[in-house]
């Protein structure tokens, strides 16, 4: 029985250390230090020992493979990351109309707009568009609004949303995204086919958008096409009246 146990120990380890009691007169003492085993790095043949022999096994050089449970955990973490289309569906992007716009009294680069997004009162939004767009181009314009961002205090004025715009690589040219003619303020925008409106998921809360970095994950995938239509990957940005666009910028980033 002792020999069978020793053979099992030897089979499961790269190196075998067999220790015999020093009091045994008929067998040589084979005790070695753990360091000498690692230094020799050669297989040791098994020696049949007396009943009182002790078998110690050191696997100092064995490579520890990840457990199946750990590997499954990593796969689950990867699977938990939703595709960008699902994240984009959590954004509350709406058609808006600017009912009033003026220069921010405390910031040279900011406009302040009151925007109708289908709510009881217009939203106040601050936009850094002074260097790119004349003020009179904002007044009464139809816009696209990202509505479920957390409010931000911008030089004493709380901004509750963001006007979405396209910009070239140098950021020297910026154009607002525009809904197609016939779009209604407050209508929620989606990405995909014409019938996708009926499959929209519920928008995330502003806290969820911030905590899960939803906008930061989606924004790099937004571009304009050769005909200046806004796209998420291969999916066009839509209202029930048609596709969202900018005036002239092709292959531009959207933010």
The per-residue pLDDT for range 8-53, each reduced to its tens digit, is: 444 444 443 434 344 444 444 444 444 444 444 444 443 344 444 4
Query: How far, in Å, CA of 110 to CA of 157, rounded?
Result: 11
Distance of CA 12 to the CA centre of its chain: 42
Q: What is the pTM of this model?
A: 0.70
Query: How far, in Å, CA of 94 to CA of 160, rounded?
Result: 13
**228 neighbors 250 (Cβ within 8 angstroms):** yes
Number of domains in the chain: 1
**CATH number of the domain bearing residue 172:** 2.40.50.140
Give exposure, 35-67, as e/b (b: 16+ Cβ within 10 Å).
Answer: eebeeeeeeeeeeebeeebebebeeeeeeeeee
Report if residue 199 sits inside a domain.
yes
**219 neighbors 159 (Cβ within 8 angstroms):** no
Report if residue 154 sits inside a domain.
yes
Mean pLDDT estimate for the chain: 80
Domain carrying residue 116: 84-254
**206 neighbors 148 (Cβ within 8 angstroms):** yes
Cα dihedral 32, 37, 40, 46, rounded to 10, equals 80
Tens-place pLDDT, residues 212-252: 999 999 999 999 999 999 999 999 999 999 999 999 999 99
Report if residue 51 sits inside a domain.
no
User: What confidence score (pLDDT) does residue 197 get?
Assistant: 87
Report if residue 40 sits inside a domain.
no
Report if residue 28 sits inside a domain.
no
Report if residue 39 sits inside a domain.
no
Tens-place pLDDT, residues 178-197: 999 999 999 999 999 999 88
């Amino acid at each position: 029985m002792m020999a069978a146990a020793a053979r099992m120990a030897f089979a499961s380890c790269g190196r075998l250390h067999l220790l015999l009691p020093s009091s045994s007169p008929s067998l040589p003492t084979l005790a070695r230090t753990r360091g000498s085993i690692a230094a020799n790095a050669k297989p040791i043949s098994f020696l049949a020992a007396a009943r009182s022999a002790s078998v110690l096994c050191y696997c100092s050089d064995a490579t520890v493979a990840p457990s199946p449970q750990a590997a499954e955990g990593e796969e689950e973490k990867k699977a938990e990351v939703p595709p960008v289309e699902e994240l984009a569906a959590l954004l509350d992007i709406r058609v808006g109309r600017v009912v009033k716009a003026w220069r921010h009294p405390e910031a040279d680069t900011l406009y302040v707009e009151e925007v109708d997004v289908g709510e009881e009162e217009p939203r106040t939004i601050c936009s850094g568009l002074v260097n790119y767009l004349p003020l009179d181009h904002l007044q009464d314009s139809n816009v696209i609004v990202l509505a479920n961002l957390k409010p931000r205090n911008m030089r004493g004025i709380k901004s509750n949303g963001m006007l979405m715009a396209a910009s070239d690589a140098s950021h020297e040219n910026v154009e607002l995204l525009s809904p197609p003619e016939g779009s209604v303020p407050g209508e929620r925008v989606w990405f995909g086919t014409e019938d996708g409106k009926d499959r929209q998921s519920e928008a995330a809360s502003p806290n969820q958008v911030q905590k899960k970095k939803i906008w930061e994950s989606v924004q790099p995938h937004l571009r304009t096409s050769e005909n200046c239509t806004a796209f998420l990957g291969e999916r066009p940005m839509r209202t029930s009246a048609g596709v969202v666009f900018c005036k002239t910028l092709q292959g531009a980033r959207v933010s």
